[in-house]
Amino acid sequence: MLRPKLPTMPQPTGTVTPPAVVEPTTITPGSPTTRQAPTTPAPVSARPTVQLTPGTALALVGGGTAVVLVVGAVLVSMLLAVAITAGSVAVCAVVLRSLLASDAKRR
């Protein structure tokens, strides 16, 4: 009733050409040429250089500190959630064990 329907592979149509045979060619070594270094100086970039002023350095330090504090708070909260979950599972296990032990004593 619930059988999976497997697709059939399509058959090739027309004539199939055999793969082309690649014949190796001989390599003739060329004469080595010496390259001379360019004499023109490299062009100067049109982009302005980034200057780190005391204000921007303070902003970078403050931003980095904020990122570290936020990531730390998230990790600590995740650890606390895992610890609370483990504690509640342990309490449930103790209660279940107690209920099963008292049930066995009654019989």
Rounded to an integer, what distance in angstroms lies between the CA atom of residue 14 and that of residue 102?
80
Give residue limits of the domains in the chain: 72-107
| pLDDT at residue 8 in the model | 83
| pLDDT at residue 48 in the model | 78
**107 residues of the chain, pLDDT tens digit each:** 678 887 787 776 777 677 778 787 887 777 766 666 666 777 777 777 778 898 999 999 999 999 999 999 999 999 999 999 999 999 999 999 999 998 777 76
Distances (CA, A) of 105 to 49, 93, 98: 82, 18, 11
| pLDDT at residue 52 in the model | 84
